Structure 1
Amino acid sequence: MIMDKKILLCVTGGIAVYKAAALTSKLVQAGAQVKVILSESAEKFVTPLTFQALSRNEVFTDTFDEKNPHVIAHIDLADWADLILVAPATANTIAKLANGIADNMITTTMLAATAPVWIAPAMNVHMYDHPAVKKNLSILAEYGYQFIEPSEGYLACGYVGKGRLEEPEKIVELIRSFFAKDERKQLIGKTVVVTAGPTREKIDPVRFISNHSTGKMGFAIAEEAKRQGAHVVLVSGPVQIPAPAGVELIKVESGEEMYNTVIKFYESADVVIKTAAVADYRPKITYDQKVKKQTGDAVIDLERTKDILFELGQRKKNQVLVGFAAETENLEEYARIKLTKKNADLIVANNVKTAGAGFGTDTNIVTLFKRSGAVIELPVMSKKDVAKKIIEEVTSLLKDMGKNANS
């Protein structure tokens, strides 16, 4: 499973650097292509020549040492990797990555990375337990980074406890398992466009029409599609959550901006999943200056926004088209009408008044309505688990379309 996989090993400065040398050797023996970046501190423990000999590749240490004039080294390395592993990862480097600091070759490369990132911490037991380190690890987890937990044992400082870099053999096995799962990914080679969050329809510079959508459901779907190997374009209205690692995030404000962006990607898309709660109406007239308060009532004339799902249904060729229906009554009736009227392949419907469903929650209760007439009722689940079920259905629809095309 590791044969010819491209692994970028980022080695930071701790006594466990010697294990990184052994890890490099074992990965190469397993058939991986390994390139190494050493921090300045790591060079105090092991020289670049050691890693060059073990990896059979040039070792990188300096952001400004551009050996190949045809590429920018840190961008080229970030694009090259199938997996990026920081091992050992010191508290210092973890803090820099968590806070977006790019002051050396490793941290600069990591900011440009879209490949999966694994962090293997190694430090004193009390350092590992410090609130600042815990907070920084939590931030990296939000970014989508994965962790190889340190093991317990005798540490170089003389303490016994958690902080030892995991053994190279175990890390190789974890990487092997990761790429074995990668072989089973269902959406490799597919482009999935996901819309998420609310839109804001401007009244004046300080007021707008919007709704309660937080984007959590759409972001969970984008994350799962990416996990299944898709190239994911996430078109999001204003939200307060970080984008899943590796997705192409495009931020928009209005329904018109969302429509234009989705149309731009529609021809090249294999799947469009429209979770965004786009405003149905917008003010007919908008103002460049704040509208001052007047005596008595005010009236705002509204006009319809573009029905994005309907427009996509009219233009649909070979795409799988998924829509959402957030209702407060007559769920099945309205979902079936939407399925037909919008020419969708799947409608995900929920009653936003039901406890555990709707906007802002971490859970959802949805029913899937398929064009075939099948109905799948799901119990209360986390939005991440709902996302997995939706992507499973999308994968099934893509397979059915492939069979029909070949028949």
Structure 2
Amino acid sequence: MKAPLSLEEAQTKLLALSPAFSTECVPTETSLGRVVSETVIALRTQPSADLSAMDGYALSAGQGPWSLVGESRAGAPFTGALRNDQCVRISTGAIVPDGAISVLLQEDAVRVDDSVSARQAPAPGRHIRPCGFDFRSGDVLFTRGARMTAGRIALALTAGHSQIPVTHKPRVTVIDSGDELTLDPATCLPHQVPASNSAMIAAMLAPLGCDVTRIGPVPDNQSALGAAFAQSADADVVIISGGASVGDHDLVQPSLLAAGAQVAFWKVAIKPGKPLLVASRQGGRGRQVVLGLPGNPVSSFVTAFLFALPLIKAIQGDPAPFPKTEVAFTGEDLPATGSRREFLRGVREGNTVRLAGSQDSSALSALAQANCLINRAAFAPALQSGEPVMVFNLQNG
């Protein structure tokens, strides 16, 4: 029997199966979470003219007092040019007229009828946002692989883009598998468990902008699993939780083989999450990747975080799909690790991290509290409180 793969080996093999991404253009306003498929450059200059940064008076050269000759408002600029010792009333965001060299703050001005004096004269250029100080036409706004955020949407619109080129949304089917699962938690019998893994995984995928379909719970028999895989034929990725281990009722692997899939690897040297299964088959949209996750919810969460999310990001063209580690300091003693890499659920406050309750792979209360995973290498020595550890931050807890 082959030894379980290391985390890095398994992640590399998984991404090698990643289907090629395709592209489309979408309205910029609806592009949140989408991944840009090509370099986007500015189509206009911002600001397109010198603008006032404050309310006050746009002053020409001179020592003052300045004669007030008009007003420049946002959207309604002063149309003339100022001569020496002239000024205009100006509002924030309004175009600074030709001939003006600075903006006098409203609170620093003394106005008597149409004559304006300065309690403290501003230096040349003061309180003026020069043309193009934010960006100029032709500047690169973001490159391929950038994920659209609220700030990037605003930037793209301001730079003249009503549409943005992005990769297609991956189609993902998430399947709950297990005879013990029930769909309605309100009617759960003592021998049953509410199906929660597919909802959890769908929530993890939501920020990535996928089209997610949930199926199940599917009972532990090959006929039902085969029907679920047939129903998932048009998905780019199929994620199934439960049934990927070696028990008498763990039928995901034989069901996949019967559906024409090829197993890429099975078992990874991590804790929790060892019985991870990865396969591929020909689907309705090309190559389809199937991830068989462990049924225990924490194991399912950890393997989805380490494998499913990076796979989706890679399909979208994200050049850095894997989660990044940060250094924190343990707030308690941690025991030595065994032969598998361990991912402990933790609660991080500032730079200090503590365990989030029970580390059992079924403990949802600790998972719900956790906002990070403590990343510990195999055969790592025991740590004392205050020593550094590597963590993955989670949008969780």
Flag whether TM exceeds 0.5 (same fold). no
More strand by share: 2
Greater share of residues in helix: 1
Q: Which protein is bigger by CA-based radius of gyration?
A: 2
The higher-RCO structure (CA 8 Å, 6+ apart) is 2
